[in-house]
Amino acid sequence: MRETSAGAVFLASWGTPLLAGGVVGLIDGAVALAGGAHGVTLPLAAASLGALLAWLGTLPLTVALGLTRRPAGPSARVANVIASVALIPVAVLAGRFFYKRIPWSLADGALALLAALVLLALLVGLSRGLARFVSPRAIRTLAAFAIPGLLAAAPAAAWLARSARPPAATTRGIPAAANLLLLSVDTLRPDALGFTGDPNARTPSLDRLSRRGTTWSQCIAPSPWTLPSLASLLTATYPGQHRVLEELSGLSPDVVSLAEVAGDRGRRCGAFVSNPWLATGSLTRGFDTFDVAERIESLDAVRGTRLGRVLSKVALRSLALDRADHLTTRGLAWTANGEGAWCLWLHYFDPHLPNWPAAPWDRLFGPPPTRIGSALTVEQIRAGDYPGGEEGRLEIERLYHGEVAYTDREIGRLLRGLTESGDLPNTAIAFTADHGEEFWDHGGYGHGHAMYEEVVRVPLFVVPPGGTRGRVRDALVRTVDVAPTLLAAAGLPPDPAFEGVDVLAGSPDGVDATYGEATLYGPEQKFLRTPDRKVILDPEDLRIEMFDLGQDPGERRDRHAVDTDAMGALLADLRAWQERVGSAGAMAARDPGDLDPETREQLEALGYIQK
């Protein structure tokens, strides 16, 4: 009885981590396979990797359990069950800890090593059966040769698995074609990053990467919210041209996407994104793989409770599939499980409101939040219905910066993974955002509602394959310039349908002006921005604002009634831009009786209102 109980404890303490880790790895491998990381052996290899990592992570605990004396009888079986159940979360967490920190390519080796361990276990069982018929000396001799042979077989099998993969394609002695990597982050203000001048930012990965390329300090998005802005990023056109203005609209047949151009030039194209606006299929054109990891909204309400805050640090964070760690893991898996050059778009969502980062990111810029909980809705924050007053606002901003720092950590892991795979030196990289975020700069919160700089100005840098000497340009550029610039950095010509241009090859002074429209909330607004001026027009309310950005970069002093000549010229240019690139919205009819005569006359001359 004592021997049977001891054997059961041994099997449970050593088998539970293997089983738990294997199940988690199998699920993750199946998800990666469905997301475009092709290869039918992927789930099995991932299960093997998860099993081994969970087993290694719980090894000290299982050894301790094995050395502990246990009473025989029913109490031993109860203790065995309790120990096995307790080991499951430990095994899963230990496996996840190691799983995120090693290259995916080790899965092949893990599969071979696990097979060796299974054979070893079978050998042990077989030896016990043979003990009845074969002398102990013969068994010891067999083990002396078999065990080292099995252990040596694991690295040999891993080496064979890696060497069996065909090398990257080459043409007439020229190295493999360059990869394209488009990194975008949702809701990212430039002043939240170290390389744009914030001394308190915690973005070392992006700071280092930016020093290997060209950074533009004045990059403007054509819309203050995600869908039309990202459509412009991918198609190098304005919202009035691509017509992606709401969740059910598709790309205009008159535009082409970055993925279509890259695919026509021999790249396999994948996108892994985590903004739910992108789940409707509007931007999938040209991608071989388009994977949207949606946020589990019910988790946000749970995290707002005291118990939920504790659980979110362990269990709930693993279920939030829109987190940056999942995006990085799936992106690396996709690049590793395919052949030839690739074009990959990763869109990180974490800084998007509402912000509730896990520890330690929730206290990276100050004490842990005590006033703001994740159950607080965006509508409540916009309405000012949040606790703490000014301190509550500061907590919201600190949580945002924590999400940015966490995203930077995961982008760093992505870059390390591409370095380990050998892809990074042969990859052209562009980094930007869809829009910024207002933290009461002009009395509002969030994005989609305004055309001020904090909402439409975004970071941008481009790194060619192998990198170059870092430089910063203060010239005006646009996110519609990103796709042609990234293609050119990879040695590929842009498409003639692009409105944007290659700003690396263009004038160091950038472009003369850019245009924007398509608000999400409130009345439709349009803006025209030059390097030193900006005019914002609300066609529905017939409200005009004009700012001298050289003297007033924070857009605090409206000069439309003071500098009427400049305003008239900007409005005329705005009208010309709208006629050339189209408009996302129509002019609303309204009685302009409250307008001053001069403003009304200018708007009548430009066609915004009728006499």
The SS3 call for residue 427 is strand
Q: Do domains 179-510 and 526-606 have the same CATH topology?
A: no
Pairing of strands 427-433, 438-439: unpaired
Asked if the model's pLDDT at residue 296 lies above 50, the reply is no
- Which CATH code fits 526-606? 3.30.1120.10
Number of C-alpha atoms within 13 angstroms, CB side, residue 181? 24
Q: Residue-wise over 213-231: b if at least 16 C-beta within 10 A, else e?
A: bbbbbbbbbbbbbbbbbbb
Lowest mean pLDDT among 373-387, 430-444, 584-598: 584-598
Once rounded to an integer, what is the mean pLDDT over residues 55-62?
54
Assign 3-state DSSP to the chain and report helix, strand, coil percentages, each to 5.
Answer: 50, 15, 40
Query: Mean pLDDT across the stretch 47-75?
Result: 54
The predicted pLDDT at position 150 comes to 45
Residue 283 has pLDDT above 70, yes or no: yes
The predicted structure's pLDDT at residue 34: 46
Beta bridge partners of 291: 272
Cα–Cα separations (whole angstroms), residue 214 to 211, 424, 426, 430 = 8, 17, 17, 10
The predicted pLDDT at position 245 comes to: 82
pTM of the model: 0.68
Fold assignment, 179-510: Alkaline Phosphatase, subunit A (3.40.720)
pLDDT grade for 65, boundaries at 50, 70 and 90: low
* Extents of the domains making up the chain: 2-163, 179-510, 526-606
